[in-house]
Structure 1
């Protein structure tokens, strides 16, 4: 059964299962208000859109997925192969499995009310309308608490995996997501403006935005991506959300609720926080001057969470802060070494914006993150481990 919004049919329906999970009849759900929440943010991504369905005293969020057949050169293009890290229906499979509904500790995913097939091969995930304070508004102590909650979950699952539990053997979990992401970034960068070529840094605007004395370090960081990925691959395995971004985090009664599990998979301890420390700055939630403090805040919280989970195992053995620093550093430097080298590509394309803002405003943040990532890469590669 289809729903409508402002007189227009929306690309999802409601099932008896969903209505029952909401404690409503199908007719009640069909009579609810439907409002658009978000449209696809980037090309090629599997998300068709997100809607809020609202009754008098209840609400739900519906996320509609479909495979994008022609994703072009988008880094985010979906794939039809269930084994591919960017498989289009992974989030629906994740909720259907039940793992996300049984995470230990104080971090959880939204409650899922059901998955409904729709027109054109789409899938609609009906889930909890998370009511809480979004991570983009948090102060550093709340970031620390989120890191602690993440450490509780990931330390517990890493310990179970190390003990031979098949918790991470689920076929829907992505594998090798980070390496595929970086390879896609590399292919796109080489096609637009290869950062290894000195000439791409010589355009007047690039010279104004990127200090010439920083260019060799940024080139070296990008050239080291394979070594950094090897470090990440050598870390203990756990469940990762793989888009641990302030917009995807919510404080709900002191617990941390994480939305958007589209890439959920087997990753490394610390990998998710490597994502968070960079995205919090490049997406304008915290100033770059806060990078060192944010990093240490996340390290402290994650170390506490791992300890609470009883984590002990191979390197990074005890979860002491020194080991946790290297875990998070490796994840961040491996994933985001492309940031500063992307500036020449943006200029070469003739674009005047970077990440949705004027390039003169965004580029200094990316350069500052690039400088910090160079430091983190040194930490991650220390002693060749």
Structure 2
């Protein structure tokens, strides 16, 4: 199923364009997106039954089976979502890409999703206002689902568990390579940043007790800048394969700290949390919550990951690139430290 079949292509384009297509030429280009999926932009000229020629573009995402830690069925989750009524829960201002066709090959453990190509602003080109809009729209969407509790969503079996964040943190903390490194004399990370991480370890039980008092909501769990597309004032969110139950505000940790705009991390932290809570509170009452725990979630999710990135940065043959990567990880940890000091 991995290849693009002419019959499937004409069927999908016919649905997308709302007219019968008899043939189409094919040009493909790899797209960034989908950590373990093969994502391609397919373009060309399609010919209709009445002889017209129409330019088309469409995205095809092919996903083979793989096992994410503590989430073995995530490889097919996006397929499961597109096969459900999930799309009806979105609004014009916050949605996923429209899907035109899905297939699954059970024998080869592979899914294929044909979806719209969405053009817009993404990644580090997002501005502060766009970050804020993304946070507010996410909050509004999660608040709606929290208030309405759609029955089909409650019954979906292939969703990651609320404990996933805790599982990931404990997995990293039990990894001696990173755990021992920040406690060693030859650690290259500044001592005050190591202490920040060690303090989180020592307070982890108390922190999770606080987090687990927050409402459980449907989290995207990969809500970082590359998966967010800002288009004409609306937010389009891609890559739903990590989605599952999590805690209020958990996605903000990714928005703020996952390979984000380092220079503006502190600013975006202070802008995005109120925007997110504003959107959520329009749908559900959360006025009783005074401890959002987003800072702690950032460290639980990304603290040891940044240490790992620092340790793995570059190689001896690329000294300048190595230094740059190490500096980025240190600067990110420093910004997280500054967030704490400004709370």
Fold agreement, TM-score > 0.5: yes
**1:194 aligns to what?**
179
Alpha-carbon distance in 1 for matches of 2:86, 2:317: 40
**1:11 aligns to what?**
3
User: Could you tell me whether the CA contact under 8 Å between 2:39 and 2:61 is conserved in 1?
Assistant: yes
Matches within 5 A, 1:83-122: 84=71, 87-104=74-91, 106-118=93-105, 120-122=108-110
Compute the TM-score of the two structures, normalised by the length of structure 2.
Answer: 0.81
Give a deviation string over 1:273-315, Cα, whole Å, max 9, x none.
1111002xxx2x5234x22211011022112212332x21xxx
Alpha-carbon distance in 1 for matches of 2:181, 2:342: 23
CA-based RMSD of the aligned residues comes to 3.4
2:180 aligned counterpart, secondary structure: coil
Q: Give the 3 Å change call, closer, same or farther, for CA 67–377 of structure 1 in structure 2.
A: farther
Q: 1:128: Cα distance to partner?
A: 1.0
User: Could you tell me whether the CA contact under 8 Å between 2:310 and 2:329 is conserved in 1?
Assistant: no
**1:179 aligns to what?**
166
User: Could you tell me whether the CA contact under 8 Å between 1:273 and 1:328 is conserved in 2?
Assistant: yes
How many residues of Structure 1 are paired with residues of Structure 2 in the alignment? 328
Give a deviation string over 1:3-29, Cα, whole Å, max 9, x none.
xxxxxxx53442776344223657535
Q: 1:245: Cα distance to partner?
A: 0.9
Matches within 5 A, 1:1-385: 11-13=3-5, 14=8, 18-22=12-16, 23=18, 25=20, 27-29=22-24, 31-38=25-32, 41=35, 45=36, 47=37, 49-56=38-45, 57-68=55-66, 77-78=67-68, 84=71, 87-104=74-91, 106-118=93-105, 120-161=108-149, 167-175=153-161, 176-187=163-174, 189-190=175-176, 192-195=177-180, 198-199=183-184, 201-202=185-186, 206-207=187-188, 210-279=189-258, 283=259, 285-288=260-263, 290-309=264-283, 311-312=284-285, 317-318=286-287, 323=291, 326-342=292-308, 345-346=311-312, 351=315, 358-373=321-336
Gaps of 5+ in 1: 3-9, 69-76, 381-385
Range with greater deviation from structure 2 (236-245 or 102-111): 102-111
User: Could you tell me whether the CA contact under 8 Å between 2:40 and 2:59 is conserved in 1?
Assistant: yes
User: Could you tell me whether the CA contact under 8 Å between 2:103 and 2:112 is conserved in 1?
Assistant: yes
Q: Give the 3 Å change call, closer, same or farther, for CA 330–156 of structure 1 in structure 2.
A: farther
Q: Give the 3 Å change call, closer, same or farther, for CA 257–96 of structure 1 in structure 2.
A: same
Q: 1:250: Cα distance to partner?
A: 0.9
Gaps of 5+ in 2: 46-54
Compute the TM-score of the two structures, normalised by the length of structure 1.
Answer: 0.73
